[in-house]
Every structure is written in C-alpha cells, then in structure tokens.
Chain A
Amino acid sequence: MLLYFVFVLGIGFALKRYMKTSKDFFQAGRALPAWICGLAFISANLGAQEVIGMGASGAKYGIATSHFYWIGAIPAMIFVGVFMMPFYYGSKARSVPEFLRLRFDEKTRGYNACSFAVMTVFSSGISMYAMARLIQTLHVFDSLFLKLNLPVGWIFHFAIILSALIVLGYIFLGGLTSAIYNEVLQFFLIVAGFLPLVWVGLKNVGGWSGLKAALPVAYTHSWRGMTNAHTNPLGVEWFGLSMGLGFVLSFGYWCTDFLVIQTAMASDSEESARRVPLIAAIPKMFFPFLVILPGLIAIATPTLTQHAMAQAPTLNAPAAPRSANDLNDPASMGKGLIPVKIDPVTGKVMTDEKGHPLLDYDLAIPNMLLHYFPTGILGLGLTALLASFMSGMAGNVTAFNTVWTYDLYQSYIHKNASDAHYLKMGRWATVGGILLSMATAYVAVGFNNIMDTLQLVFSFVNAPLFATFLLGMFWKRTTGHAAFTGLVSGTVAAIIHHGLTMPADAHPGIHGGWIAVVHMYPSEMAQNFWTAIWAFSTNFVLTVIVSLMTKPRPEPELVGLVYSLTPKPVEHHMAWYARPKVIAVGLIAMLVALNLIFK
C-alpha cells in the first residue's frame, strides 16, 4: 500500500516539470492518447459511488443493479462519443460551462459553473467521508495509533487528512495529466484487486449456478418483474427505469458532466476524443461482474462457513438478532456477510421505523475482501479499494479547479491576467477544493446508501442540464435566455418534486416530503428517477417556449456549436474498425446480448 502511495506521488513529481502553462495543467496539454483517456473516462467515475455503492446495491437489489451500467451508462457514452464530442472538442471550449457560454450566454455559463463547482466538492467530500469511515471500520491504522498512544477516535480525521494530502499532492504537482495517469493506474489496480475476489468468491459459492441456487430468483435476473414497481427489488417500473435512469440521469451525467468530459477533452485529437467514451464503454460493460457480483456473493456466502472459519474477521458482527419476520425483504433468511448498520457516532445498532435493524450494505465489498482474501493479496484488495476512492476524488478536484479558474475566476474576478497567474490560481484552487471537500465529508452522514445520495444530487443539478444541451446542440433556434430559464426552473422543479413526494418507508425530511406528501413512491430510487424526469421535462418545455418568444442568435455565430450548421466529421480515412459509428453499433450489439443473457 505504501508502495502505491509512493508511485502515486512519484507520478505527480515526474509530471511536474511538464506543467509549464495553464493548458498543460488544466487540459493535460491536449496531448494524451485515446486509450489512456478512455480508461480515465470510466475511472473518474469509479469513485466511492461505484465500487462501494454498486457492491452495496448488488447486495441490496441483485443483478438488477447492472442497469446502472447497461442502461444507465453505455447508451449515453455511445451518444456522447458519436454525436456530442465533436462540439465539445471542436469548439475549443476548455470546459463544459465554457461551451455553454459559446453556445448561449454568460449567465447560463455562470449558473452552470457555480452549480457544478458545488457538486464536485460535494461528491469529492462524499468520497472522502466514505473512505475515512472505511479505514476506520477496517482498522487499518489501529495498531499505529495505539503504538503512538493517540486516541483511536482520531482515525477518522487522520484518514480524511491523509487522503486529502495525497490527492492534493499529485494534482497540485501534475494537474490533469497526473490525475488522468493516476486514474488509469487505479483502474488497473481495481481490476487486479477485484478480479481474484470474484474468482475466489464464485468458486466458493459453487460458480454462477451455485450463486443462482443460493439467491432468490429476482436477484439473478435483471429484467424480471420490471413491468410493475412492486414486483422487482429496485421498486421501479420499466418506464421510470429507462426514462429516468437510462435517458435523463445517464445522459445528463455522461454527456454533460465535465468530470468525465474533461478526460476526453484531454486527448490529442478530435478523433481520439470521439473514441474515448467508446473505448471506455467496453470495460464499463463488464464492470458489473467486478463490482456488483461481489455484492451478490456476499449475500450468498453461507452463514455456516462464516462461523466455521473462526479466524474470519467479519466486521461489526451482528450485535442484535437478525429480524426473521421482515417479509418485504426477499433475502431475510440469511444476509451472508452483510452486518447490521452501526451508528458511527453513538455506536448503537441503527433501526428503521418498525424496529428492524438496518443492514449496512456498504460493507458488502470490504467484508468480501476480508472474508476471501488471505494475508498478502488482502493488501492488494484494500489498496484497490482505497485507489477507487482516490480516483473519484481526484476527478472531482481537477474538474473543480478547471471550472473555478477558467469559468469563475478568469471570467468574473480577475480577467486578463498572465497565464502563469492562472496556473498558480489553479494550484491554489486545488487546495481550496480539497478543503471544501473535507468540510463536506463531515456533513455526509445520514443516508443508508451512498448511491442514493449521489443520485439525488445529480438529479437536482444534472437532470435538467441535458435538456439544455440537447436543445442547444440540435436546435439552432434555442436562445440563451431560454436556456437559462429552463435550467433554473428544471432544478427548481426537481427540488419541488422532491419536497412533495416520498419513498414508501421514510419519514418526511431529507428523503423528501418536506413540503407536503402528495405522492408515495415504492422506493427511494423510483423517487430519484421521477425527480429527474420532472426536472428534464420542465426544462425542455420551458426552454422551447422561451426560445420561441426570444430573438435567436444569427446563424453564422453558431457554426461549430449546433449540429445542423456544422460540417459532419469525416470518417472515411479511418480504418473501418476505428470509425466511431462502427464501434457504436458493435457496442449496442454487445449490450443487447448481455441484457438477453441476464434477463
């Protein structure tokens, strides 16, 4: 693990001498090969919400979680690569908000830059919090602290500061290149750490067929019961799933979030930039087997073996008897390696309103590591886990420093300074961003599932955003005033919708219903998806209406920014297998095949 940290910072130092201009720092000099950017593209998203959250959802909802990949990512990644990347890369915008200024106006950009900056800090803070809590529960530093005679309660703070310093170190030194290089490194580490876990785990439960036999039917079929929200583990019907997740949320994220777009924009040519999301889609398609399957295996691991293996240090061994009468839960007979949830502050077992103990699904993957890995490879597994947190944090921090420096600082606070000044600003913005993340990390307690929290934030900010880009790029009539009105009202619609509805088993408050409860959703996820759908539709409709009432921009100004006014990218000179559209078709075929296999 120490070795990994040394390498991480080493890369930062090695790259420092190349960081001469702000372009090197913020955009990696636009000189990276497509495969590196492609892997960084998914790795930037491979933070806490991915590894821990997906493992948790895998344990909670079963293989249906793979919808987050197959429906909730791949189509959007194909779309951004084939259709949207030429505008991002070709317009020479340095960030997504800057593209909005080129296409629309200053206020749209300002609004987007601000909300995006807040969101990156929030996500990075959640990553940090999750990591610190994990280090605490895994007792990584306990012996060190006891040796130094320090209170063990400080480990949480120590972990936060340590992770902050490492991420700060390599970004401060090497900027986006360093972050991207580390993201790729982390990608390989995660694969190296989790592949043997799945292998050993599957072998232990008797292969795929053994896993299927040990779990309820709905766990191993991603589409079963999708016609009705009450008959599948996600609590979402197919329309909410495909529209909310598959269209609004995923396109909003993969097509407009500068966090991922920045890695594609760092590549060395427009062709590479278009290929980046497509390259990324291939490993992304198979990631469910790495991160969701461990969650399933954790549930399926027989409790008997757990007791037989006296030395297995399963965390938070159940302090209260598991409830056997929880009829709503398909897997109540045995939860395998999933412990009950312990309140980090009081140390007591947390329960829902009916008094059943809540299960701490977020520990599915960490417990799998501890259960199946002997000394040696365990170190690798834990490093992979920590690497995933770092990569999530780093992507957010580089996105933050770019947006802050270019879109907020350079535009509103200090115009026309020297390039060296902005480079310095970018470095200090990194420090500021990390400090803010640390503050957020302390606020991030209170949700059962990290995934749900992040989806909530995304749906407020990102869901309306995609309507703006869609109209902006494909309808030349769209105006700046309209885009701004649409964006703001979309976010407001999201907030109001969240305030008026509530998932079935929650109290009014942070889970919704804080204005009045008008509608109940069967699950929090369903509520999130529908919030996104409402935000998107509000934005779309209002943008169209306001556009028709306001004066459009003259067409020559929009060349390179709108689809109908821009020459199509030429693909003839590329080998047939390298053409984005060919890759896209291949990807769709693979996607359909996967969905058929696991239907």
Chain B
Amino acid sequence: MNLDLRIPMGLLFTIVGAIMSLYGFFTRGSVIYERSSGMDINLIWGTVMLVFGLTMFLLGRRADKRPRPQAVEGTTRPLGRGHGGH
C-alpha cells in the first residue's frame, strides 16, 4: 500500500497535541484542573501526544522517502511486481 499510516496518524496526534498543550499552557493554575487532582493534564498529556505524533510522522516520512526513487508517478500497477520480484 502506498500510503504509510504513520504519516496521517502522526499529523493528527501532532495537531491535537499542539492544541492541547497550548490550551494547557494558557490555562495554567485554572480552577478546571481541580478535577484532575490538580495536574495540568492538558499541558502534560498534550506534550506526550505531541512527541508521539512527531515521532510517528518522522518515522513514516523516513520510511516513505527510501523507496520513493523507485516509485513512478501515475502508474496503475502495484509497484515492485512484474520486475522479477527482487
């Protein structure tokens, strides 16, 4: 399959993580965190998701880049087959 799942998934987690940690950063010490036992869970978990998302995205990009030279734009056949299978 030509689409590496890690790229869209990494993007989603990066964006959500960024939004959450920013929101968490600007609402530091707000009363809403009484609910989560005083932890700024938005900032903490947002950062975790951001890191996870970026890692996934970069891994996906790296894996995607390597076979790219072989890929011919516009072909309808599954790539790598019919060439003797090496």
The A-contacting residues of B in range 56-83, CB under 8 angstroms, are 76, 78
Cross-chain contact of A11 among B8, B13, B35 (Cβ < 8 A): B8
Residues of chain B with a CB closer than 8 A to A188's CB: 9, 13, 52
- With CB as the reference atom, state the residue of chain A lying closest to B11: A7
Contact between chains at A374 and B42 (CB < 8 Å): yes
CA distance A20 to B30 in the complex (A): 53
* Chief secondary structure at chain A's binding surface: helix
Interface residues on A, range: 20 to 34
Instruction: Tell me the minimal C-beta distance from B56 to chain A in angstroms.
Output: 8
Q: Which B residues lie within 8 Å of A7 (CB)? A: 8, 11-12
What separation, in Å, do the CA atoms of A383 and B76 have in the docked complex? Answer: 36
Interface residue A18 (Cβ < 8 Å from any Cβ of B): yes
Contact flags (1/0) for A497-508 with B, using CB distance below 8 Å? Answer: 000000000000
Residue from B2, B33, B36 within 8 A of A18 (CB atoms): B2
Flag the segment in A26-34, A455-463, A570-578 that touches B: A26-34
Give 16 A-B pairs besides A11-B8, A376-B41 with Cβ atoms closer than 8 angstroms: A4-B12, A14-B3, A14-B8, A29-B1, A181-B3, A185-B8, A188-B13, A192-B49, A200-B36, A200-B41, A371-B35, A372-B35, A373-B41, A376-B24, A376-B32, A377-B36
Mask of A164-185 contacts with B, CB within 8 angstroms, 1/0: 0000000000000100010011
Within the assembled complex, what's the spacing in Å between the Cα atoms of A40 and B16?
22
A15–B35 contact, CB under 8 A? no
A32 to B6, CA, bound (A): 13
Q: Quick check: is A196 within 8 A (CB to CB) of the other chain?
A: yes
Q: Do A377 and B42 have beta carbons less than 8 Å apart?
A: yes
A390 to B27, CA, bound (A): 32
Return the CB mask of A1-19 against B: 1 if under 8 Å, else 0. Answer: 0011001001100110010
Is the pair B27, A376 in contact by a Cβ cutoff of 8 Å? yes
Q: Once the chains are docked, how many angstroms separate the CA of A312 from the CA of B31? A: 12
Q: Which of A3, A18, A374, A376 contacts B3 (CB 8 A)?
A: A18
Partner-A contacts on B (CB < 8 A): 1-3, 5, 8-9, 11-13, 15-16, 20, 23-24, 27, 30, 32-37, 39, 41-42, 44-46, 49, 52, 76, 78
Mark each residue of chain A from 191 to 208: 1 if its CB lies under 8 Å from any CB of chain B, else 0.
Answer: 010001000100110000
A196 touches B41 (CB 8 A): yes
Assess whether A134 is interfacial by the CB under 8 Å rule: no
Q: Are A372 and B36 in contact (CB under 8 A)?
A: yes
Please give, as numbers and ranges, the residues of chain B lying within 8 Å of A177 by CB-CB distance. 1
Could you list some 15 contacts between A and B, CB below 8 A?
A: A14-B3, A18-B1, A18-B2, A28-B1, A32-B1, A181-B8, A184-B9, A185-B12, A200-B37, A204-B37, A309-B35, A312-B35, A372-B35, A373-B41, A374-B41
The reply to whether B37 and A10 form a contact with Cβ atoms under 8 Å apart is no
* Set of chain A residues within 8 Å of B35, measured between Cβ atoms: 309, 312, 371-374
A164 to chain B minimum Cβ distance, whole angstroms, is: 22
Report chain B residues within 8 Å CB of A312.
35
- Measured in the bound complex, the distance between the Cα atoms of B60 and A184 in whole Å is 15
Which of A29, A188, A203 neighbours the largest number of chain B CB atoms within 10 Å of its CB? A188
Q: How far is the CA of A373 from the CA of B37 in the complex (A)?
A: 10
Chain B residues with CB under 8 Å of A374's CB are 30, 32-33, 35-36, 41-42
A249 interface residue per 8 A CB criterion: no
Whether A31 contacts B1 in the complex (CB less than 8 A), given A204-B37, A373-B35, A376-B42, comes out as yes
Q: Which of A288-317 contact B (CB under 8 A)?
A: 309, 312
> Is A380 an interface residue, CB under 8 A from the partner?
yes
Task: Give the distance in Å from the alpha carbon of A377 to the alpha carbon of B46 in the complex.
Answer: 8
Residue numbers in A under 8 Å from B16 (CB-CB): 3-4, 380
Q: Distance (Å) between the CB of A292 and the closest chain B CB?
A: 21
Residues of A within 8 Å of B34, CB to CB, are 309
Give the distance in Å from the alpha carbon of A422 to the alpha carbon of B36 in the complex. Answer: 52
User: Does A260 sit within 8 A of B, measured CB to CB?
Assistant: no
Q: State whether B13 touches A373 (Cβ < 8 A).
A: no
- The reply to whether B13 and A31 form a contact with Cβ atoms under 8 Å apart is no
